[in-house]
Amino acid sequence: MKRVSLAAFAAAALLSFGFVPHSAMAALPASDSQGEPLPTLAPMIERAVPAVVNIFTRTRILQRQHPLFSDPFFRHFFDVPEPRERYAQSLGSGVIIDSENGYVVTNHHVIARAVEIAVNLQDGRTLQAELVGSDPDSDLAVLKVEQDGLTALPFADSDQLRVGDFVVAIGNPFGLGQTVTSGMVSALSRSGLGIEGYEDFIQTDASINPGNSGGALVNLRGELVGINTAILSQSGGNIGIGFAIPINMAREITEQLVEYGEVRRGHLGAQAQDLTPELARAFGLKSQPGAVVTRVEPGSPADKAGLAAGDVVVAVNGRPVRDATDVRNAIGLLRIDQRVSLKVVRNGETRTLEAIIREPATAAIEGQKLHPRLAGAQFGNIPESSRLAGKVEGILVTEVDRSKAAWQAGLRPGDVITQANRQSVTNLRELEKAVKGSDGLLLNIVRGNGALYLLIR
């Protein structure tokens, strides 16, 4: 294939579109013919860009090998060497949110599985970063750097954003270095995209590309309104549909990450589905936004508050909800022991219920207790706060020791076992019954957006 250098392509493009050389461009007037200054975002951008950083990570990756080499019996008798490792590098962006303590917010997927994280400041300084905490369900993470003279971005109130507001995205697309693009808010409260567990995205047409993840979305005052996170694209490049996490949501998450190193989501004990026009008619309601409660767990905070199946939740803590995703997002951001107000419609009457969010009761079991070949793994029920709750029925693999047989057989944290030895399993008791006394284990696993069978002998 014939190759053309990027420099030659750029030069040809400038000439073909009638652009003038840099020296001529430098002569453009700073004001119009009436002496008025030309509109520019430069002063705001000059204040904002020092708070946006480029992030570089190194990730350790095991070399793929034949599945037979993972068999402990084969490895022992044939002296198979340990799998070799290699390192991969990735790029992303981040935003300094606390200059005094050196806290930087970015996306979880930017630093996931990283063994080394470096932050490059706008002035050229490169700093080693420590991971404070991360939350896969919201795709947010907080880093800490030790350095004086940092600049932080002030926060805006993202609840005040409107479609049509102008915004600017700042980040490190394709590793080019700090880049600024502008656009507007195209839509608000985007959810149901399957990108994250908790979704309430700002949609923007400001160009967001690979490498922009974790960067800043700011308003024309230079205030942080969102954390750039994802794009919708078939080619992998920008087509004018980008998504950012609203800063109000990000603040709730980052405060817990700084305080605890994780997000401690509470437990309400209720499940809900979207209120469709058909369901609204069935319940004798006018077509309106909301979520229908489908199940209330006995003894849960929702049960103690008086919530019942068939109730239609129309607001949480005074904020209207449009669907079940809004309810889940609102509850997912609350802390344990926090009080929540639920406005519900029951039999045509509106009432307000008060509940106290409690710590979820999580049952877990060591794999060794289920079956010898599951040694090194830990299993639990899918928690209500998980992105998989209500979507997949099965047993969650919560931990896997890399030195044990379960890891060598291919089991990984986050896997969900839906079948064991061809028997469907929805709780730990069913899993224990399915594997008891068997020589080998045939597990049907949901991993990410796919599924696979895993044979453990």
Tokens of 113: 């599985």
**Which residues neighbour 167 within 8 Å (Cβ) at sequence distance 6 or greater?**
182, 183, 184, 185, 202, 204, 206, 217, 218, 219, 220, 225, 226
Q: Write the single-letter amino acid at 435.
A: V
Question: Is 231 among the domain residues?
Answer: yes
CATH of the domain at 309: 2.30.42.10
Q: Is residue 34 part of a domain?
A: no
**Catalytic residue at 139?**
yes
Among candidate residues 245, 263, 281, the one where a domain is terminated: 263
pLDDT-derived band at 216 (thresholds 50, 70, 90) equals very high
Q: Is 6 inside a domain boundary?
A: no
Note the pLDDT of residue 223: 94
Render pLDDT for 115-172 as a digit per residue (tens, 0 to 9).
889 998 988 888 999 999 998 888 999 999 998 889 999 999 998 999 999 999 998 8
**Confidence band for 86, pLDDT divided at 50, 70 and 90:** low
Residue 150, judged by CB atoms within 10 A of its CB (0-12, 13-18, 19+), counts as: buried
- Average pLDDT, rounded, for the chain: 81
Based on the domain organization, do 71 and 175 belong to the same domain? yes
81 pLDDT band, cuts 50/70/90, is low
Q: Pick the catalytic residue: 135, 137, 139, 323? A: 139
Residue 197 sits in the same domain as residue 222: yes
Least confident range of 7-11, 289-293, 306-310, 440-444: 7-11
Q: How confident is the model at residue 183 (pLDDT cuts 50, 70, 90)?
A: very high
- Candidates 134, 186, 191, 213; catalytic one: 213
Looking at per-residue confidence, does 220 or 336 come out higher? 220
What distances in angstroms separate CA 194 from CA 15, 137, 138, one per listed residue? 43, 11, 12
250 and 135 assigned to the same domain: yes
Examine residue 27 and state whether it is found in any structural domain, yes or no. no
Please indicate whether residue 213 is annotated as part of the active site: yes
Verify that 99 and 162 share a domain, yes or no. yes
What is the distance between the alpha carbons of residues 442 and 374, in angstroms, rounded to a whole number? Answer: 12
119-124: long-range contacts (C-beta < 8 A, 24 or more apart)?
119/53, 119/54, 119/55, 119/56, 119/94, 119/143, 119/145, 120/53, 120/54, 120/55, 120/56, 121/50, 121/53, 121/147, 121/150, 122/49, 122/50, 122/52, 122/53, 122/178, 123/50
Length of the chain, in residues = 457
pLDDT digit string (tens) for 55-76?
998 876 555 454 544 555 544 5
Please report whether residue 25 resides in a domain.
no
Indicate the pLDDT class of residue 14, thresholds 50, 70 and 90.
Answer: very low
Band (pLDDT 50/70/90 cuts) for residue 406 is confident
Q: At 129, which amino acid appears?
A: A
349 and 368 together in one domain: no
**What CATH number is given to the structural domain containing 83?**
2.40.10.120
Phi and psi at residue 354, in whole multiples of 5°? -115, 130
Quote the CA–CA distance of 68 and 75 in Å, as a whole number: 8
94 and 220 housed in the same domain: yes
Q: Please pick, among 108, 109, 267, 371, the residue that the annotation labels catalytic.
A: 109
Same domain for 214 and 102?
A: yes
Within 13 Å of residue 9, how many CA atoms lie on the same side as its CB?
A: 5
Number of domains in the chain: 3
pLDDT in tens, 312-368: 999 998 888 888 888 888 888 888 888 999 999 888 888 999 999 887 665 678 888
- Are 263 and 138 contacting, i.e. CB atoms less than 8 angstroms apart? yes
Kindly state whether residues 87 and 216 are assigned to the same domain. yes
Q: Which domain holds residue 375?
A: 364-456
Geometric angle at alpha carbon 217, from 205 and 102, rounded to 5°: 160
The confidence band for 194, taking pLDDT boundaries of 50, 70 and 90, is low
Characterize 48-64 residue by residue with b for buried, 16 or more Cβ atoms within 10 angstroms of its Cβ, and e for exposed: bbbbbbbbbbeeeeeee
- Of 307, 333, 356, which residue constitutes the final position of a domain? 356
Q: Which two tokens stand for residue 299?
A: 């003894």
Of 356, 377, 400, the domain-final residue: 356
Residue 432 lies in a domain: yes
